[in-house]
Structure 1
């Protein structure tokens, strides 16, 4: 049973990687994150230092759990055969469980020390099977780690790009104002398309490697909630603040639909798999903050010569309505990852 559980989890994690399909890895990641958060709260140093190491430690722990389950599982099969079907080459054969673990361990790691020798066909075939599994699993593990870190680099590159697009402010209004400087939005569709492409890439990476969520960096601009805030708020402002008649080709573009839909899908899937329902309560007082935020963005667009919607009151109400759908979930995600909302959206105070 232990061998089967380990092999099924390796298959679901490495060869059939989809969010929610893991048998052990996802619960292990959740449990380790809760433990690390608990330790960070009582640690004498800043919690960011410890939380930043959670992702790499989770990778190590996952591999250790896989190996321990396989070694222990095969050891339980081997243990009753010590002294009979498996003999020591030096005479007396120890029959304790530690010897079974030793025999299973050197078989799985393909060390082949040779001081314990299988005497019957079944045990000879078993040691070949275990050695083949060990070689395959080490290869798959290396491939998995390379894939995880490649996806992580892509995520960090996207986060850094958004950080500099907003001039380090984390403000989607700043992103749009810069894209439409002097009122020219002719090239904004390509920029939004590039953002949407990077976001869909991030969505699929998170699908395939749920452990990516637990890589938390000390720099807030790498935070996944910050990425989602910038993409979702950019899409929300474009839907509610721009003049829909003049910029119809942008407001109704596939690029904007992809940016909005991809952000929504990623946020909802993360919420369903990682966030407790108690974390999704909405603070009604934030709606006034959002309304002020909308008028601030509109004024910024005016300064850059961008034409805005003629019905500002309707636009503000629509903006608040759309933010009501995603903001509570995003705040819950930020809290789950150990961030204060003021770190994710420093301009919303």
Structure 2
């Protein structure tokens, strides 16, 4: 196991369920994004009582290890319009699926139908907006994409949030891109292990030391340019994303637009059975597969997912900003309420 005790930039001082951390940056109530370049600090551990409170309010911890790689989604090309626009040149996609514990993948994933039986519409829009309005004590942002048409539907706060560890998917994709263009290798030594092992630790276990190593290998300019190439404005020194930008990243990943089939499948496999399964996953009904990456930092609690069943796939991202770790419990319940509402309407 790679140690999580090394120094890292303050926006990376994100506690995992086993090792909650605090950091030097606390602007106002501790929930606002940084406005200047963060320095390098050594995180301080919370007291045992605070850890216990965080675990209780979060609803428990699940730690799992993914075995095997799922079928890779087909490289379907679906362009994304602005959050309130229309899809451009839709193309059917194929979906990878999973149930827990990780089963053997199907020989051939079913195709997503061009005209879904149940789609995102005014009724669901109203339900999501009602949940957001009823919880105005928090900043809540939601983005939802039906991968059969590529339209981004965004609700609530549409400004940038501190992305916390959800941005590790962007970092992983950027490194895989370097591999695919011959500028890096997954077997190259990186820290105490290989680059490939560091990506797995970064995504599946949300390891911050691994994140720092991957970002260092990609470079500040490298990840900014990579993000821009997929339509995302990103500066790793402040780590800010909108829910729509995170949703677009997952859409392009799942539909094979970011990486080759093998690397797509490998990254998605790391997004299953992660070390923190208490947000979106437990609110998903049986039979719906989940690929996700959570984020937890100061007042920011997020989950970003792809939900799949019977050849249909949706990107579902929820970002929340509250006070601090003390209100994780209520925001966990909001994320789960949104998840149950969305899955009941779409599956």
TM-score by length of 1: 0.25
Which one has more relative contact order, counting CA pairs under 8 Å at least 6 apart?
A: 2
When Rg is computed on C-alpha atoms for both structures, the one with the higher figure is 1
Q: Which has the higher strand share?
A: 2
TM-score by length of 2: 0.25
Q: Which has the higher helix share?
A: 1
